[in-house]
Chains A and B, each alone.
Chain A
Amino acid sequence: MPVDQSLVGRVFPPTAPFEVTEDHVREFVAATGGDYDGGPAPATYPIVLAFDAMNAFLDAESIDLFRIVHGDQKFAYERPIVPGDVLSATLAVSSLRQIGGNDIIGTTSEITDADGTLVCSTSATLVHRGAEA
């Protein structure tokens, strides 16, 4: 079933505050084969927040995660993320179109710290593969 067109422009509630810990950054770095010895989190770490926001969005719209393939991802950083940061992501749907039975969903997520200051802006295109795919 195609995704509802009225979603465009909708802003979803911020995700629950998430505290960045050294242990979690280490786990994230280790998963991609690296070693973490303190300091800023790696550049793709904000996906943890953006993914949390995306999951909430998919749940709210009853979209199956297994039908989602990632089309693109961009990050623009205001500052590096470091352990001790308490972050939250706010997702908005920026565009929606249908191509060949798939929904192409454009999203942006703004990641802010405990003071509400912008830390990172991300955008992602999600390809929702139709049931007949």
Chain B
Amino acid sequence: MSLETQVYTVTRADLVRYADASGDQNPIHQDESVASSVGLPGVIAHGMYTMALAARAVATWFPGAEVVSLGCKFTNPVVVPAEGGVDVEVAGEAKEADGLTTVALTVTCAGQKVLGMPKAVVRG
């Protein structure tokens, strides 16, 4: 079953807020010069930020469902411009078996997949 694709916009201000909430103050998510110094194409979103958006989509599709597992690889960075923001799209395909629903996710930014094999399993 295909789930309705969710689109979220990420701004640099979101990343600062997320850094404070999560405790991840890695400057590559806030400071262009530090990001460039380690070979990144610019300020990138926390991988966990993008994963949180994937989890948010799952929570939207399956309100109140208990999440059993969640995982992904961080394969491509989400580069967040200094002005405006960037859109992250979360699509999903759900399959149910034995009381568990497995959601195979596809998470893209500017047409490119940013997470590798993102998958969530929810109860019900």
Residues in A lying within 8 Å of B, measured CB to CB: 24, 27-28, 30-34, 39-40, 42-44, 47-48, 51-52, 55, 65-77, 80, 125, 129, 133
Contact = CB atoms under 8 A, between A and B. Distances in A.
Interface string B1-40: 0000000110000100110111111111000001001111
Contacts of B21: 24, 27-28, 30-31, 48
B76 to A, nearest CB: 11
B74 A72 contact: yes
Q: Which of B40, B53, B66, B70 has the most CB of A within 10 A?
A: B70
Nearest to A44: B52
A66 B22 contact: no
Contacts of B22: 28, 31, 47-48, 51
Given A31-B14, A77-B68, A72 B59 contact: no
Given A33-B56, A44-B51, A125-B73, 18 more contacts: A28-B21, A31-B21, A33-B8, A34-B59, A40-B66, A42-B55, A44-B70, A48-B21, A48-B23, A70-B46, A70-B48, A71-B74, A72-B72, A72-B116, A74-B69, A75-B71, A77-B70, A129-B38
B99 to A, nearest CB: 15
A126 to B, nearest CB: 11
B34 A66 contact: yes
B37 to A, nearest CB: 8
A17 B32 CA distance: 34
Given A27-B21, A48-B22, A73 B51 contact: yes
Given A31-B21, A69-B74, A75-B71, A44 B27 contact: no
B58 interface: yes
A33 B87 CA distance: 13
A47 B48 contact: yes
B69 A76 contact: yes
Given A43-B59, A72-B71, A66 B27 contact: yes
Contacts of B80: none
Contacts of A69: 28, 38, 40, 47, 74
Given A44-B52, A65-B26, A70 B74 contact: yes
Contact of A32 (B37, B53, B67): B53
